Amino acid sequence: MSESLEDVQDRVLDALHAGELPDREALLAAHPEHADALARFLDLLAEIETTPRAADRPPARLGEFRILREIGRGGMGVVYEAEQPSLRRRVALKVLPPALAHDPRVLARFRREAEAAGRLRHPNIVPVFSVGESGGVPFFAMELVEGRSLAEVIRERAAGGGSPMPPDAWRRWAAEIAARVADALHAAHAERILHRDVKPANVILDPSGTPRLTDFGLAADLAAPGLTMTGETFGTPLYMSPEQALRREAPLDPRTDVYSLGVTLYELLTLRSPYDATTTPEILSALQQGLLVAPRKLDPAFPEALERVVLRAMGRAPDDRYATAAAFAEDLRNWLAGRPVEAPAAGPPRSARPERAASHPTAHPQATRRVRLRVALAASVMALVFVGVLWLGPHEPREGLVLGGGPITAKELRALIDGTDPEGVATLHAWVDPQVRLRGVVARDELGSYRVDLGTGFTDPDPLPGVPALVIARFEAQAEGVPVRDLGFAYAVILDDGVILSRGPEVRLADVLGHAKQRASVVVTHRAKIRIVARPPTLLPSMPPSPEQLTRAWESAGGTACSWQETRTLLVFDEAPSGHPEFATGPDVDPGMLEVLSPTRFHDVHVSSRGESGGDRRISVMFDGMGAPGPVPAVFEVHLLDPDTGLVLARATWVRDARDEDREDEVRHAACLRFAIEDGGSGRDAGTLVGLANNSAETVTLRFVPSRRLAFETTDFEQIWGRELHLVVPSKGARDDGRRTEAKVVPYDPPKTLRLRDLAKEGAPGGVAAIGRMVTPRVGLRRVVSRRSPGSYEIAIVLDTGGVPVDGDTVFLALWEIRVDAGPWRPIEYVVCGVGPGGGSGVSGAMPLERSLGAALSSPSVEVLHRLTVKVAPRPQRLAAGFCGVESYVTPQPEWAEAAGPAWMWDSGPVTLLVYDDFPDDYPEAVRSDELDAQIRTSLAPTSGGACRIGPGRVLNAPFVFGASPVPLACEVDLVADDGSVVGTATYTQPSGDGPTARTVSLDFVLAEPAAAAEQRLLLDLAKGGAIQVKLRFRPSRDVARRLTAFDRYWNGTVTVPVSIGGM
Amino acid sequence: MRRMAETRRLLDEARGGDRAALDELFGRHRGRLYAFTRSAMGGASRGSVAAEDVLQETLLEASRKLGSFEDRGPSSFYRWLVAIARFKVREADRARRAGKRAIESPLGDDPAARDTSPSGRAMRRERAEILRDALAALPGEQGEAVRLRYLEALPVADVAARIGKSEGAVKALVARGLASLAENREDSG
């Protein structure tokens, strides 16, 4: 495939325009015939593209090292030649580029690399002398090796230059080199360090001809798994082992390096790549299928034994390869010494035998199907990583996982992945439970939002095996009288083992409900389409994918995975409840609402007994009214309690039946629970159980318990479900009537709003200690946030019991939720937990804000809304009696949720943090917003966006620019003339989507008729062409806007705008 | 060893407010954009820091308007930068003609770092400046083709339409133009 120099150069320009750095080596290797001209061309471009900015120039010194020149630059760092005066030696300094030095992941990798490499001492490994940091720039110093890399040697020989070694001698030399590199790798492996990026460019031949392995840039400590779980893929796919390139579930081991060295040796011997492939997807496909070209196909004179050694090292499965790099080295030396080689003649059963590999690409049908799917997945993953590779070849990247066709269960999906599925294509029907949870009620003036939980809702519990997936749901909603609107995406990132790593943002309903505000309630119809795609490595778990990324992943996923539809009723309130966005059950909410939302009625209780000893006795309870129209958790537990002792007699787990989705009207709000009565109870519970089993009349209590933290968080479990029902189990006589017996239900009526001070009252719920008096908790911000280093809060909350001693068996559990609203709105919530002993002591916790501030660092300030839930609960056993330290932080435990019920909600209101460029010497405590200096205030306020223009139809168009403060959903803007009279009014409404994107807004003001005096003057002036000014005055149109956007502080002012004549 | 860029990821991160990603993203285009700025400013920029200021102003503006950038393909981001730069150049021209100070103070440029550069580095930088000026001054169709194709990132077909040549001829013009720069540099350097 020969291409003209002009075409190659043109593609390089395209790559540069796309922001890609051309891979010099790969280019030169791919076009040896143009190598010289291409090298000159690349040099020239590199020089022109040299950035003129000071920050990218190298520092003069780093620590004790004096920098002399830049040697090279890779994705992970810049390498300088430097001098170490104390030892009078030259070294190579590897430094993180400043742009990356702020990324903690990159920093961690860099340090790991340095530490790993620093431990290695081997004649064939370029040693690392020291690791340091200077002025925040981490670096390490290694030996400066003069010489050429194997890549250069290969290129030279391929172009016909270099040493005129005859083929035979060349092969012996190559084998010797590879054996020595294998020695080095073995030494690294013994230190539990993988290289992971072995390739010709990383083997340098020093002037004495000794191969030196360098750039442990991708080294991962074998002892520290997990660091590869972030979805990043490094390295050049050409040299990667199949398991590394295709990201199989098994952790990498030394045999991945054996493979890469095998490829390196192959290339050294044959001067070409082992695969007939140019694009990344092709390479991946070839890799997975073992489609390598046997050396003897290329050159019948190639020694057969050496071929076996090379192909053994490049076995497709790790088990097919040499078990260690040392074994590889030994076999190479066997060949060199003329001894028989270990590598089997016919190849091991599953290895890529030369003949077969070359001519029968699909030897194992089953494995191949797995191969295809994996390859397709990996290809879509890799396509995103190696964007830059694609321009080397003319082909488009292959499609990703395509799902379409008939229904599939998890089993079938697995079959598909395992390659036993006959068709190879299926639709994910089993993904039946995307579990949409309504996060809150929707206020008339407020942003409504869904919280969407995309779990692994397969009909059997196996998640997608071995496929790190991105699950995307695209939501549409329709409210009464409002056409279908696209709400956008929700997503979940799922790891190989089915663990949900991160989950997408809330889906906002504001757009839809904007048109439904007049009603007391709206019915919102949802439709979600769900797709599963291979998780692109660009979607790191720590980072919310952008809508663009999701759209791309969505489009590349092809067919529809699952269609699903659900109808919900949302209640619309006039004003956000105080506890927004949680569902508020405070005094603002009609108590009747709680009854509607809570599970209340049981219509059948049936106790059956099977088995002689009572070992298999069950109690069935049929109930309905499952929280209609409130959200129902996917899973929860119901405990059967003895109402007298509060002891748990039996438990049942309710799991939402996937099939309910299809016939939701009949089944949706009813459930049947079966409690297995366990043996082994004693005393009173045994008696109760026996009584129940015998159907003698008993009263029991049902307590609803969230079985997962998720349920707790997403369904307002505490308020709606966290209650107890007293249940009268029918007497024996009732049993004879048959199974359908109406049971009398006595709903337990918990306090609707429980404040701590209520606890002092008589009859406080059991398990909660009495507290005399509650004083408002105080929140103190301990830190301002720094632009440079991760900011964090330390929040001290003092729960003052007013001097009344609290029982020593009581603890406070405080859960904070913090919402950061910064410039571009990216609310992120944190929950932290603090524990305090009774007795009026403080509770404190700290939380990193680093992530949420990613979006806010360009703003001079961020708004932080706190919400605090304080629970008073029996002290868990594990907090031993000696516990009293307020310093210690305790991870929230699931059982604490069980202790829920009484809680006290508190909303501190927004607190403004100032973002500094660096930590001030003595950073102040929270700066109250009224102390903001004028300059910051100005930057937060809206400003003029240029001249306003008057156009036909007596319309005045006035632009303004948002400041850095949050932008209200809607506000009124008055046009004010010189004398203060209002000549026009317009309403600004925030567009739907992820917050305002355009910072400049133009508003049209229709000038009122009849003209007032001021207006007349205004028009007259305009008509005369005189330059005048008008003022824009902002008014909050709603109370919520005022509260959420600190309207009074930043928006409540006027902006003067010059007026110019002109068409609009 | 150069790793291929993850331009889109950078772009997305930058839009999410990640400064480091933005810096990295700009860094990949800065040199070329600078060359474009110099070429667009013509002789006016010689011997002054005006081009550098315009560049900084361009990037500042771009960082402010990042939200309004629409991704329309691999080169669209750079072309968007070029569009802003062209606007800024015009703005600077107007300001200069009006006798005003051209540009507000730029993004965090560190004047101290300039002085600490080793001389060799400075020399190389100087050579890069000369190269960029030579690029801006390339005569005739060759220069036109190079500037449109390389500095303004127009597709080959568009360049061909502009200067009335075939696409193959445009590629050849660009290649020859850049090659002539390389030769001149070798002569002088």
Percent of chain A, pLDDT > 90? 4
pLDDT greater than 90 at residue A320: no
> For A294-306, what is each residue's pLDDT tens digit?
898 888 889 999 9
Minimum-distance CB partner of A19 among B7, B109, B175: B7
Task: Read off φ and ψ for residue A210, nearest 5 degrees.
Answer: -80, 130
Q: Classify the C-alpha dihedral A599-A604-A605-A609 as positive or negative.
A: negative
Q: Cβ of A847 under 8 Å from any chain B Cβ?
A: no
Q: Cβ of A47 under 8 Å from any chain B Cβ?
A: yes
Minimum-distance CB partner of A48 among B108, B120, B132: B132
* For residues B42-64, average pLDDT: 68
Could you give the angle at which helices A254-270 and A150-158 cross, rounded to 10 degrees? 30
Distance between CA A295 and CA A303 in Å, rounded? 9
pLDDT greater than 70 at residue B174: yes
Q: Which residues of B touch A24 (CB under 8 A)?
A: 2
> For A783-831, what is each residue's pLDDT tens digit?
444 444 444 444 444 444 434 344 444 445 444 444 444 433 333 333 3
With CA atoms as reference, report the closest residue to A377 among A557, A562, A559. Answer: A557
- In the DSSP assignment, the letter for residue B150 is I
- DSSP-derived pairing of the beta strands A1000-1006 and A955-961: antiparallel
Confidence of residue A264 (pLDDT cuts 50, 70, 90): very high
Q: Cβ of A37 under 8 Å from any chain B Cβ?
A: yes
| Interface touch A18/B178, C-beta < 8 Å | no
Distances from the Cα of B141 to the Cα of A995, B113, B169, B171, angstroms = 47, 39, 11, 12
Task: Read off φ and ψ for residue A135, nearest 5 degrees.
Answer: 55, 40
- Specify the range with the lowest mean pLDDT, choosing from A122-131, A277-286, A378-387, A653-662: A378-387
- Specify the range with the lowest mean pLDDT, choosing from A220-229, A689-698, A838-847, B10-19: A220-229
Confidence of residue A451 (pLDDT cuts 50, 70, 90): very low
Distances from the Cα of A342 to the Cα of A306, A321, A337, angstroms = 11, 11, 13
Sequence-distant (≥ 6) Cβ neighbours of residue A878 within 8 angstroms: A893
- The pLDDT value given to residue A329: 93
Which residue did the predictor score with more confidence, B82 or A498?
B82
**Active-site residue list of A:** 197
- Ranges assigned E (strand) in A875-942: 903-916
A481: left (phi over 0), alpha (psi -120 to 50) or beta: left
* For residues A631-645, average pLDDT: 57
Interface list for A 512-541 with B (CB within 8 A): 538
Which ipTM was obtained for this model?
Answer: 0.82
- Residue A203: closest C-alpha in chain B: B1
- Residue A799 near residue A870, CB atoms below 8 Å: yes
| Interface touch A824/B17, C-beta < 8 Å | yes
Could you give the angle at which helices B167-188 and B156-163 cross, rounded to 10 degrees? 90
- The pLDDT value given to residue A1007: 62
pLDDT greater than 80 at residue A1026: no
Q: Which residues of B touch A5 (CB under 8 A)?
A: 175
Which residue did the predictor score with more confidence, B113 or A816?
A816
Tokens linked to A169: 């001698």
Distances from the Cα of B74 to the Cα of A18, A19, A382, A537, B71, angstroms = 5, 8, 17, 19, 8
| Interface touch A99/B168, C-beta < 8 Å | no
> Which residue bears the tokens 């020989």?
A157
Fill in the amino acid letter for A810.
T
pLDDT greater than 50 at residue A140: yes
| Interface touch B31/A50, C-beta < 8 Å | yes
The rounded mean pLDDT for chain A is: 57
- Most confident region among A106-120, A934-948, B49-63 by mean pLDDT: B49-63
- Specify the range with the lowest mean pLDDT, choosing from A99-113, A381-395, A524-538: A381-395
- Residue A346 near residue A386, CB atoms below 8 Å: no
- The pLDDT value given to residue A313: 92
pLDDT greater than 90 at residue A981: no
Fill in the amino acid letter for A848.
P
- The pLDDT value given to residue A602: 43
pLDDT greater than 90 at residue A328: yes
pLDDT greater than 80 at residue B179: yes
Helix intervals (H) in A598-729: 664-667, 683-693, 709-714
Distance between CA A241 and CA A244 in Å, rounded? 5
Minimum-distance CB partner of A17 among B8, B64, B74: B74
pLDDT greater than 90 at residue B65: no
Minimum-distance CB partner of A538 among B9, B74, B79: B9
Distance between CA A595 and CA A4 in Å, rounded? 77
Dump the DSSP string for A184-247.
Answer: HHHHHHHTTEE-----GGGEEE-TTS-EEE--GGG-EETT-TTGGGGS---S-GGG--HHHHTT
Q: Which helix (H) or strand (E) holds A835?
A: strand A829-837
- In the DSSP assignment, the letter for residue A733 is H
Confidence of residue A474 (pLDDT cuts 50, 70, 90): low
* For residues A753-761, average pLDDT: 33
Minimum-distance CB partner of A856 among B17, B129, B178: B17
- The pLDDT value given to residue A951: 62
pLDDT greater than 50 at residue A341: yes
pLDDT greater than 70 at residue A592: no
- Most confident region among A45-59, A300-314, A636-650, A926-940 by mean pLDDT: A300-314
In 3-state terms chain A splits into helix, strand, coil percentages (rounded to 5) of: 30, 30, 45
- Cα distance from A799 to chain B (closest Cα, Å)? 37
Distance between CA A182 and CA A213 in Å, rounded? 10
Q: Classify the C-alpha dihedral B164-B165-B171-B172 as positive or negative.
A: negative
| Interface touch B1/A74, C-beta < 8 Å | yes
Which residue did the predictor score with more confidence, A823 or A605?
A605
> Which residue bears the tokens 């006589």?
A733
Q: Classify the C-alpha dihedral A37-A38-A41-A42 as positive or negative.
A: negative
Distance between CA A501 and CA A877 in Å, rounded? 30
- The pLDDT value given to residue A585: 32
Which residue did the predictor score with more confidence, A51 or A1064?
A51
End-to-end Cα separation, chain B, in angstroms: 26
- Cα distance from A107 to chain B (closest Cα, Å)? 13
Q: Which residues of A touch B55 (CB under 8 A)?
A: 52
Q: Cβ of A962 under 8 Å from any chain B Cβ?
A: no
| Interface touch B149/A60, C-beta < 8 Å | no
Q: Which helix (H) or strand (E) holds A1028?
A: strand A1028-1036
Distance between CA A144 and CA A20 in Å, rounded? 28
Confidence of residue B187 (pLDDT cuts 50, 70, 90): low
Strand partners, A862: A913
- Residue A75: closest C-alpha in chain B: B3
| Interface touch A18/B74, C-beta < 8 Å | yes
